[in-house]
Structure 1
Amino acid sequence: MIAKNNILLAEDDFDFGSILKQYLEIHNFEVTWCKDGEEAHNAFAKAHSEGVIYDICVFDVMMPKMDGFTLAEKVISINPEVPFVFLTARKMKEDRIQGLKLGADDYIVKPFEADILVLRLTNILKRSRPNLAKVRPDINEITAIGNYHFDAHNHTLTFRETVQSLTEKEAQLIQFFYENKNQLLRREDILSKIWGNDDFFSGRSMDVFISRLRKYFKDDSSISIASTRGVGLTFTIESSKK
């Protein structure tokens, strides 16, 4: 049985939202439908606290209590990896730019064909879930990285008694860096391998993840992630501390 994709839909138009929910469910989505931005934010935060992960979010821009842009900012602060799409009846260029600046994976103007939305969501999910088996071999062993112990399977990075939980993308990025340690990796190669594309918005997302990884590895001076301007990054582990 094929697992269903878990989607958070925020749409205040009852008739449109009801039809869209039914159509998405027909196409193998498990839909949580919220009628305003505040309800959607509460649903996302509650799910996150319970360990439930939404595969993708679809937000109407104009909603009561909290608009789609504000909702997206709050969702990103909880989980910066979740892909999201904006729906809007407005065709203003400024709205589209604002949505893309927030990191939206798509911006769809109403009216639209529901099957087009499904195709776009499916394509986004394919890009946002690079096959982990292609990034690392199928092993469950703990990897020693300097003075850290990295568990790619359980998404943890341990330093002495401190355990740092990792997101899937953080784990993928660490594994990719480790497998290509001490060599300059081009930004576009990292983006294509981990993010599935090398566009501007993915590049901004990668920079955020690199900053996190530098903080995670800060307690071992033998490990560094150096940037070569305009080229890429080098994950270095000094030989004396390997």
Structure 2
Amino acid sequence: MNGSVDTAHLLVVDDDARLRDLLQRFLNEQGFRITAVADAAAARRAIASMMFDLMVLDVMMPGESGLTLAESLRRDGNEVPILMLTARGAPEDRIAGLEHGVDDYLAKPFDPRELALRIRTILRRAAPPVATHGLPIAPVQLGPCWFDVERAELRGPEGVIRLTGGESALLQALARRVGEVLSREEIGTALGTPEAGERAIDVQVTRLRRKVETDPREPRFIQTVRHRGYVLRPGP
């Protein structure tokens, strides 16, 4: 985050000129700074020259799709939070977005107030943690990696390992209750998306495992408890 949640700089990417203009006006009125572009190529140019706190990204666009752009950004190590917009609201479409590294998903048509609410939720999740007066939680060891729960920072032998806002919030939720089983409903609440389905939570866990497990297919640290949820079991 380059500033406060309410003055964040957002990149809006949508080929529908009317919707793009409406989003720009509405989000400006909400206090956000907005850069709006019509396609993935223009989004890439904007990202190369400016820092953004969040991207609002349409799925279906001429040329490169939003899903392909999101996947490419994640592959290149760019972890800018992404809220994806789509005319298709089926659960499998939401899952496809999460699998490509997006943080949240909103089906068209939508209430602009819900869009603003979801943007603020993602931004708060990505913001640096606020210091508290309680006892600090000790860092958690995950093999060769250490997760600083207070800073929401994962470090490996070669330095900081980039996490998306959703991955960071998920690992924080598990690390704050080490050894306790968290249901998918509890995890959804911790991620700020209590309406997320079970499959969506499973996808987030799968993505996180790829970053903390030696063999994500045989997880040592983030374990599944059948019919109940997930539990974090740290260790060397």
| Alignment TM-score, normalising by the size of structure 2 | 0.67
**Pair 1:5–1:34, CA change in 2 (3 A):** same
What residue in structure 2 maps to residue 145 of structure 1? Answer: 140
What residue in structure 2 maps to residue 85 of structure 1? Answer: 85
Alpha-carbon separation, structure 1, partners of 2:94 and 2:161: 29
Q: How much has 1:227 moved relative to structure 2?
A: 0.8
Bigger relative contact order (CA 8 A; separation at least 6): 2
Q: How much has 1:28 moved relative to structure 2?
A: 1.5
Q: SS in structure 2 opposite 1:197? A: coil
Alpha-carbon separation, structure 2, partners of 1:195 and 1:2: 15
Q: How much has 1:207 moved relative to structure 2?
A: 2.2
What is the CA deviation profile of residues 89-142 of structure 1, one whole-angstrom value per residue up to 9, with x for unaligned ones? xxxxxx444743433621224xx8xxx32x121121244345989999567968
Q: Is 2:9–2:54's contact at 8 Å kept on the other side of the alignment?
A: yes
Q: Is 2:13–2:38's contact at 8 Å kept on the other side of the alignment?
A: yes
What residue in structure 1 maps to residue 53 of structure 2? Answer: 54
* Counterpart pick for 1:162 among 158, 161, 173: 158
**Pair 1:124–1:132, CA change in 2 (3 A):** same
* Counterpart pick for 2:41 among 38, 44, 68: 38
What residue in structure 2 maps to residue 91 of structure 1? Answer: none
* Counterpart pick for 1:215 among 193, 196, 213: 213
**Pair 1:135–1:181, CA change in 2 (3 A):** farther
What residue in structure 2 maps to residue 225 of structure 1? Answer: 222
Number of residue pairs the alignment of both structures matches: 217
| Alignment TM-score, normalising by the size of structure 1 | 0.66
1:188 aligns with 2:207: no
Alpha-carbon separation, structure 1, partners of 2:174 and 2:191: 11
The structure with the largest alpha-carbon Rg is: 1
Quick check: 137-146 or 205-214, which moved more? 137-146
5+ residue gaps, structure 2, are 98-103
Q: SS in structure 1 opposite 2:172? A: helix
Alpha-carbon separation, structure 2, partners of 1:184 and 1:107: 31
Q: How much has 1:3 moved relative to structure 2?
A: 3.4
* Counterpart pick for 1:24 among 19, 22, 27: 27
Amino acid at match of 1:3: D
Q: Is 2:147–2:154's contact at 8 Å kept on the other side of the alignment?
A: yes
Q: How much has 1:205 moved relative to structure 2?
A: 3.7
**Pair 1:75–1:204, CA change in 2 (3 A):** farther
Q: Is 1:155–1:166's contact at 8 Å kept on the other side of the alignment?
A: no
Q: How much has 1:164 moved relative to structure 2?
A: 2.8
What residue in structure 1 maps to residue 94 of structure 2? Answer: 100
5+ residue gaps, structure 1, are 89-94
Alpha-carbon separation, structure 2, partners of 1:226 and 1:135: 29
Q: Is 2:129–2:151's contact at 8 Å kept on the other side of the alignment?
A: no
Q: How much has 1:57 moved relative to structure 2?
A: 0.6
Alpha-carbon separation, structure 1, partners of 2:127 and 2:66: 31
**RMSD of Structure 2 on Structure 1 (CA):** 4.1
Alpha-carbon separation, structure 2, partners of 1:38 and 1:127: 27
Alpha-carbon separation, structure 1, partners of 2:175 and 2:140: 8
Q: Percent identity?
A: 17
Quick check: 22-31 or 144-153, which moved more? 144-153
